[in-house]
Amino acid sequence: MDIKVNAVVLRAVDYNDNDKILTLLTPELGKISAGIKGVKKAGAKLKFAAQPFCFGEYILTKRGERYTVINCSECQNFYDLSLDIKKYFAACAATEVSAALTYEGDECAEIFYALLRTFSQMSVGDECSALIKFLVFAMRKSGYGISVDDCTECGSSLINAEKLRFDMDAGAFTCYDCGSGAGVSRVTYNVFRKLDGKSYAEDFITVDGEKRALKLLREYSAYKLNAEFTSLSEYIRLI
């Protein structure tokens, strides 16, 4: 049985001499694995369909529980992301977290289209802000939202607080004296506020603020999903 799906490549792994196994994200079927044959050969017709970040209309055949790619029409390949090392690892970080948050058979249209928008934003602009926004959105849609409102314990405003904590279990910031989580800077909190479209203290937006926010997102994602995010760690090292 053949099926047609819109999909974006999250991962491609070598298999046999000339084949690959793709991890594809689709809006309707969620995350699926599919083999693609002969794409490591020079001049292979479907070589583009196994490239990182490729977005296309894939024709799959299914035998038993296994999918195989038999054709693909490219919609957009986002190839330019691979030409800049920072953009490349930022995009890899987005696909890495997408893979951890999605499952076969589960509809994930919102994450799918958010990922495509993020690739587009990274291609033409600041990949760091785009990555943070995507990670916050994807985690929220998967039930792991981060609250950037007032202290969840006492209700006090945190915008100008000198010390804060972040509760990994609740995914929320608190006053330093109210909470028991790890200490975080007000710079990190205000970056989250800014990128979430909320009011923030301009004085606490610093050059390294986004890097601090990404470090917190990495620790939070690893804690909630029990996974390591190597591409995200590499991107943080590069910026």
Whether 220 maps to a domain, the answer reads: no
Please tell me the total count of domains within the chain. Answer: 1
Owning domain of residue 19: 1-77
Whether 43 maps to a domain, the answer reads: yes
The pLDDT, as a whole number, for residue 64 is 83
The pLDDT, as a whole number, for residue 207 is 84
Residue ranges, the chain, pLDDT below 70: none
State the DSSP string of 74-140: EEE--GGGGGSHHHHHHHHHHHHHHHHH--BT---HHHHHHHHHHHHHHHHS-HHHHHHHHHHHHHH
Whether 2 maps to a domain, the answer reads: yes
60: helix, strand or coil: strand
Whether 133 maps to a domain, the answer reads: no
Whether 101 maps to a domain, the answer reads: no
Whether 15 maps to a domain, the answer reads: yes
- Identify the CA nearest to 134 among candidates 109, 105, 112, 159: 112
CATH of the domain at 66: 2.40.50.140
- Alpha-carbon distances of 139 from 24, 107, 132, 219, 238, rounded to whole Å: 19, 15, 11, 13, 23
The pLDDT, as a whole number, for residue 77 is 85
Whether 173 maps to a domain, the answer reads: no
The pLDDT, as a whole number, for residue 208 is 92
The pLDDT, as a whole number, for residue 74 is 92
Whether 189 maps to a domain, the answer reads: no
